[in-house]
Amino acid sequence: MPPGGLVIPQKHLFATLRKPVDSMKKMLLLTLLSLLLLLAGCTIGIKQTPKAVRQAFDALFPGATHVEWESVLSTYKAEFYHDGHEKEAQFDKDGSWRRTKTELTFLDIPAPVMKAAQEYCDWEIDDILLFEQADGVPAYYQIEYDREQSDREKQLLLFPDGSVFTRL
């Protein structure tokens, strides 16, 4: 018998010790879930979008249709159609344009990009995206490949002249 005369069966000891750990795990999980919801984008209406952002958007994309706005912290993202393409543009709250992503088809990409995309991989091309950014990064094309009956994907980033930016 241990000193003090108290004997606690092991199964009860671990159950007692586990209760605080379980509640801490639940609390941590709830905190992380709340943070994730806070950081996730919130769909907003045009009236909640700052005037400077709306003006910059209208100047860059006149005639855009089906515009939906989202805000994440101090960034505003618009998803819309413009010039026959589905696009996504991001702006800072002061109206500064950050970047645009455009979904393209084979007919929309320059010949050097198409040639490099076809030579890179014999997999099927799934998506073609054009990224334009304000931070000094030159425009580039993202080619996404997918192989039938496979979970694998490949990506190739190309500059407009067909030179490789990176392979993923």
* Segment 58-89, tens digit of pLDDT: 999 999 999 999 988 889 999 999 999 999 99
CA 91 to centroid of chain Cα atoms:
15
Is the pTM of the predicted complex or chain greater than 0.75?
no
pLDDT tens for the chain, 168 residues: list them. 555 555 555 555 455 555 555 555 555 555 554 444 444 456 666 668 889 999 999 999 999 999 999 988 889 999 999 999 999 999 999 999 999 999 999 899 999 999 998 888 778 888 999 999 998 889 999 999 988 777 788 899 999 999 988 765
In 100-123, which positions are buried (b, 16+ CB within 10 angstroms) versus exposed (e)?
bbbebeeeebeeebbebbeebeee
Residue whose structure tokens are 């400077």: 52
> How far out from the chain centre does Cα 113 lie?
24
Which stretches of the chain are DSSP H helices?
10-39, 51-60, 111-120
Q: How far apart are CA 137 and CA 111, in angstroms?
A: 21
